[in-house]
Amino acid sequence: MSSDTLTHILELARWAPSGDNTQPWRFEIVNDKQIRVYGNDTREHILYDYDGHPSHIAHGALLETMRIAASGFALASQWTISSPNDDRNPIYDVRFESNPTMVRDPLFNSIEVRTVQRRPMRTSPLTNHQRKALTDAAGTNFSVELFESLDDRIRIAKLLWHSAKIRLICPEAYPVHKDIIEWRARYSKDRIPEQAVGVDPATARLMEWVMESWERVNFFNRYLMGTVAPRIQLDLLPAICCAAHLLVKPKHKPAELIDWVNLGVTVQRIWLTATREGLHLQPQMTPIIFRWYARAGRHFSKEPGLFDLALKLASNFERLVQSPQNEDFGFFARVGISQQPKSRSIRQDLASLMKA
């Protein structure tokens, strides 16, 4: 095996998803059998990166993508965490072993095609085959629950509507939203391009103008029902227009970094499986994240009342999916059939992702 092969593997692995396309990783090719991944998280400036866990999930997605990519070069691979006590800057070592009998992973072809779909999808129901593929992809340590009926989708649409309100009126979330959208773009290397956000061009222009300052956002929200148009387009309609919502639950309470990374491994297997099954997927993590804050008793905003809204959201979520308060939720998404999105996040070049 040569370092060229490892470069090919990294070229594929960098297509792994990460929250807001942050790509919280840098790579080093240590030798022709080993890659080191330097992870980071964004908890200090991104409200949604609750204790870094969404970044840890992305790390897991990256490591699983690397494993699947390696199988295409007849390489078996294994990763270990080399810095178990540092979940802010975790280091992962991935070792590769040549294995001529290795069969290419059936998810290999989905690595580059997989992309998030934020627009409404068809409501055609899942086939039994798709249902089984998605639930099997959860493996033994996680479970997948599917919510498919129109009634369930409407109830989830209402949940997302309330979650979006918190998101849009929370001053601490504003800088995140302002930074992550690349306006007037179809592709973005390090953010989300406007056209992949899921709003129509007129709403996009209005959002761009309003999001120039928090004062404008606040004024619009208070007096002009500014959260209504984006919430209809980004939350309500997509939640109804899909085949199913999918909730991933860990069977054991995540306690350490490795548990969150393993959740990410599973999330990527589910997402790539959805792609292979001809489905698209959109994570909808904000209700999960606000529930994490609420159930941990953590006040995430200086705005009075938002914590109580998050508590109410958590109870509604639990009632909807019939789970007790102390049950853990790991990942929430909707799936369905749609055309391949015309706009997507792309990635930083490999050269920029190599450790300096």
Ligand X SMILES: Cc1cc2nc3c(=O)[nH]c(=O)nc-3n(C[C@H](O)[C@H](O)[C@H](O)COP(=O)(O)O)c2cc1C
Closest chain position to ligand X (CB): 17
User: Which residue, among 269, 267, 54, 81, has the nearest Cα to 176 in the 3D structure?
Assistant: 54
CB of 284 to ligand X, least distance (A): 5
Q: What SS3 class is residue 28? A: strand
CB of 310 to ligand X, least distance (A): 15
CB of 211 to ligand X, least distance (A): 17
CB of 346 to ligand X, least distance (A): 8
CB of 237 to ligand X, least distance (A): 14
CB of 289 to ligand X, least distance (A): 8
Scored b (16 or more CB within 10 A) or e, 63-87 reads bbbbbbbbbbbbbebebebeeeeeb
Q: Long-range contact list for 304-307, CB < 8 A, 24+ apart?
A: 306/166, 306/169, 306/170
DSSP string, 250-295: ESS---SHHHHHHHHHHHHHHHHHHHHTT-EEEE--HHHHHHHHHH
Q: Which is nearer to ligand X, 116 or 314 (CB)?
A: 116
* CB distance 88 to 40 below 8 Å: yes
CB of 268 to ligand X, least distance (A): 8
Q: Which is nearer to ligand X, 54 or 90 (CB)?
A: 54
CB of 344 to ligand X, least distance (A): 5
Q: Which is nearer to ligand X, 25 or 307 (CB)?
A: 25
What is the binding site for ligand X (CB under 6 A)? 17-21, 54, 57-58, 61, 115-116, 118, 192, 282-286, 344-345
Q: What SS3 class is residue 193? A: strand
Q: Which is nearer to ligand X, 126 or 274 (CB)?
A: 274
CB atoms within 10 A of CB 274: 23
Q: Which is nearer to ligand X, 81 or 116 (CB)?
A: 116
d(CA 52, CA 299): 17
Q: Which is nearer to ligand X, 286 or 301 (CB)?
A: 286
Task: Name 270's Cβ contacts closer than 8 Å, sequence gap at least 6.
Answer: 134, 137, 138, 144, 246, 248, 281, 331
Q: Which is nearer to ligand X, 61 or 156 (CB)?
A: 61
d(CA 73, CA 102): 9
Q: Which is nearer to ligand X, 260 or 307 (CB)?
A: 260
For CA atoms 187, 191, 193, 197, the dihedral sign is positive
